[in-house]
Amino acid sequence: MKSDAWLTFTECFMQEYYKELPTSATYREAYDKIEARYFAVFERNKFKNYEVFRSTLSRWLEKNRP
């Protein structure tokens, strides 16, 4: 089984979030799936809650959007 330890990098977490969006009913569901993978490796969440994630995503997009 492939380890998800690389999800510790914000860039990788965000990329996986965007890969998960087409198969998720909501943005929140996509986030929860990736956060669950992160939790399985590190036994804690990467983000305090969904709102903190959305704020981080917004800042990440400002820097990384073409």
* The predicted structure's pLDDT at residue 1: 38
26-65 pLDDT per residue, tens: 999 999 999 999 999 889 999 999 999 999 999 999 998 7
pLDDT for residue 7 is more than 60: yes
For the chain, the farthest-separated pair of C-alpha atoms sits apart, in whole angstroms, at: 34
Q: Confirm if 9 and 46 have CB atoms less than 8 A apart.
A: no
* The predicted structure's pLDDT at residue 32: 97
Query: What does the buried/exposed string (b/e) look like for 39-58 if buried means 16 or more CB atoms within 10 Å of the residue's CB?
Result: eeeeeeebbeeeeebeeebe
At 10, the amino acid letter reads: T
- Please count the structural domains in the chain: 1
Domain that holds residue 17: 5-64
* The predicted structure's pLDDT at residue 31: 97
Structure tokens at 25: 């009913």
